[in-house]
Structure 1
Amino acid sequence: MRAAYPRVVLGLHRSRYQRSLLTDALELGIDAIDTSFNYRDFTAHNTLAQVAGDVLPHLTLSTKVGYFPGPSASEHSLDPARLRAALEQTNRDLGRPPDLVFLHNPEASLPDATEASADALKRAFALLADATAQGLCRAWGVASWNPRPLTDLALQRAPQPSVLMVRAGLLVGSDTLTAAEALAARWDLPQEALWGMSPFGGGIHDPVWKAVDPRLFLQDPTGGLTRVQAAFRTAYRLPQVSTLAVGSDNPAHLRQLLNALRHEVDDLVVEQYRELLRGRALRQRA
């Protein structure tokens, strides 16, 4: 078995949740997985324990709480009691505390930047900090699809997350990138604590990857990578993150992504691209 590569986490959002997927990832050196309380119609944790209970002790496991079963569909809540209950059920279903728990898309329950919204987020943060101290998880963080609403909230004297996970990659807009960087700075998070997700913006078969050549963002555009590999490698710089969560049921695809990490990104080209994104955002607001 090769040494683990800590910069890649296997995301299980659309996974088949098969034991072979986890053992194949381990053979490739990927020893971390990311799931959520609400994945697989709220059965992800129980399914993992059933199909791969013997594999889980060899994996670092992160999950998320924030979405709950509702009358007709899932619903979001920052209610501390519901978050606590979800964490307790997570421990029961997995048979172990998760290594990291993210507050899942807190912006979904924050309609505006009022004091009430800030207080609701503070209470959720306090619950996660207490749960960590009590052993329901080993650390906690925030996973945000749209971090912009969070940047306007006054969160003085609130517990601080230890990890921030945000969208990453060439398809992320300028405002989202800026908001992610602002949150990381506000919470004084080092680069090692910044995670990216959804590096392909929905999938590797999106027509955009045939129309755009991400290899232009590499120091050696002719280095033999595919467009998908180059898009994955570049995602570590948009914004600058140390870890990417990426989903795949195909070991060959995961191997290709790992091989892309040997190549270097041209930071000057990335900055030029950021300037283009900022200009586009300004024109849209004008």
Structure 2
Amino acid sequence: MVNTGHPIKPAQSDPQSYTIEELFIASKTGNAEDCEDAIYHGPHFVAVIDGATTKTERRWNGLTGGRAGALLLQKTFDTIPPDATASQAVHLLNTALQRYYEQQNASEIVQADPVQRITASTVILSLYRKEIWFVGDCQCLISEEHITNNKKIDSITANARSLFLEAEIAQGKTIEDLRLHDTGRDFILPLLKRQLLFQNKPSTGQYWYPAIDGFYVPPEGIKVIPIPSKVETVILASDGYPVLKETLQETEQALKEILHEDPLLFRKYKTTKGLQKSNISFDDRAYIKIKLLS
């Protein structure tokens, strides 16, 4: 699960190469086959892909939408030209999903009902352009600068879940009761489904947000961060880590401490889901630390 110091040599057209100093990926259940995160590392791009937790019973060749999307997008990076812009790369990722919908005879269904779509967030390092690209709520650490891309709507639903859980506890339920059955998650699930009406649609107003889902992502939904020339280390991660540190060990320790103090994640670090009794974390998580070589 962890790689250290493996050099990735560039193609002749690449301006630089890199080594992977640390790499880790884990499912929230502890079963790798359930993981809806993925990591890609190739000669031109490095990326973390976070497949969204499925809100329906639909399966794609036996896989949840989150896992199917993460694996498909992971493969798609091999087809993206080295000099692609952020917009061009996002277009190709969405095109791959559109083709998959067509193969599954689901194009009309996902067009009519956004809840049925495969949805993912991603953070991408373009070696050619020396940029970090975000679509959705992944994160990165450039030297010591922590950059996130959180959605406003997630803060609203996380706070609504927190309020509901506090009310449950006020009525006599315990943390352990709620870890067995998160009634706060049940409470916000209709909102989580309805928020998909805002996905990739700035015209819907203040709650819109971007995502890779096989449909057009407006330019303002793609966050581009240039990498300063003196930067040597870049860390990419999914939002399965509440805190991102300079090493995997420190990052894992910070997660462990938060889960110990607030396993439902509704007080110290509010999210839309907590640590279920049978799971090892509240979400899938992916972490890759890159050292750039000039």
TM-score, shorter chain, exceeding 0.5:
no
Larger RCO, structure (CA 8 Å, separation 6 or more): 2
In the superposition, the TM-score normalised over structure 2's length comes to: 0.31
**Higher strand proportion, which one?**
2
**Higher helix proportion, which one?**
1
